[in-house]
Structure 1
Amino acid sequence: MPTLYITGLSADGRSRIAERREIDPDGRWFEALRLADPVTAITSSSPEVALFAAPTVPGGLIVNIYPWRAGQRTPMHRTVTTDIDVVIQGSLTMHLEEESVELTVGDCAILPGVAHAWESGPEGAIAMYCLVAGEATGSDIGRHMPPLL
């Protein structure tokens, strides 16, 4: 069964999986997440985690379909967005500061501005990324943000 992973922050401000929920194909619809603000306020952030600017204006949305080569990996990073990510083909490992989990076809992850990295499996992957842009808050205010790669 596909799984939904909702990420959040631990008591010490590190990214982790806050909730795992199997998606029952015979079940009823459910609200996965409701946010008052598009991005989680980060009170402090590790300098090793890159912070990228949102790819669109606050409140805007961008949807990317991204093909991954086998073994491709991103650096640990955050964006000033809430990301809703779905694996369409292959597998991706989502690395968080406190744990990692493999996502396979149909699995999805919601990342409200938390630190993460992606690594594709041995056969590569195709994923859809929906990013809802917010504004810098907390310790991100005034921090230099290069454009999202």
Structure 2
Amino acid sequence: MRTFITGVDVDGKSYVVSQDELTVDQVAPGFGMGIPYATSTSPPPARPAGSAPLIDQGIAPGVVRWMVVDLGPDSETPLHHTDTLDLQTVVSGTVDLVLDDGAHRLEQGDLVVLTGVDHAWRTGSEPCRLSAVLIGTPPPAAEDAQ
């Protein structure tokens, strides 16, 4: 199980900050646990500004929404960013996560942390299902000042 964590570089371009195999440690007999990502503040940190259009999820900072997303065969979403921290799992199929640094092929079981960065989704000839937990984030400091 791979975990992809996104962020922005010094030029504000979205990219994969880290890609690691999730380690699941045995905590007790028959019980293992791995932590692919955690925040240390509530609400989560402000999202980056983004240059693609914003999709306002209508989720206040710290509020949670859990969704299942179906992407049909040969589909592609427009490049966009959101006002949320998204914790996504590929439930079935494969999908390309398209960032400014290129496309990243995700397979069943892969985990993605989208930190509000510019991104798009692109499927191949087969559909894909994602499980997504969205957590509202504060706006970037530049938006606060407006």
Distance change >3 Å, CA 68–CA 41, structure 1 → 2: closer
Distance change >3 Å, CA 35–CA 50, structure 1 → 2: farther
Distance 1:127 1:96 in 2: 17
Distance change >3 Å, CA 117–CA 140, structure 1 → 2: farther
Equivalent in the alignment of 1:91: 94
Partner of residue 134 from structure 2, selected from 127, 131, 137: 131
Unpaired stretches in structure 1, ≥5 consecutive residues: 144-149
Distance 2:46 2:94 in 1: 26
**TM-score, normalised via structure 2 length:** 0.83
Distance 2:3 2:93 in 1: 16
- Bigger Rg over Cα: 2
Equivalent pair of 1:39/1:81 in contact (CA under 8 Å): no
**TM-score, normalised via structure 1 length:** 0.82
> How many Å apart are 1:129 and its aligned residue?
1.1
The answer on 1:74 being equivalent to 2:73 is no
Equivalent in the alignment of 1:147: none
Report % sequence identity: 24
Distance change >3 Å, CA 40–CA 7, structure 1 → 2: farther
> How many Å apart are 1:39 and its aligned residue?
4.4
Equivalent pair of 2:50/2:117 in contact (CA under 8 Å): no
Runs of 4 or more above 4 Å deviation? 24-28
Equivalent in the alignment of 2:35: 30
Aligned-residue Cα RMSD (Å) equals: 2.2
Unpaired stretches in structure 2, ≥5 consecutive residues: 27-32
SS at match of 2:106: strand
Equivalent in the alignment of 1:7: 6
Matched length: 139
SS at match of 2:37: coil
Equivalent pair of 2:25/2:34 in contact (CA under 8 Å): no
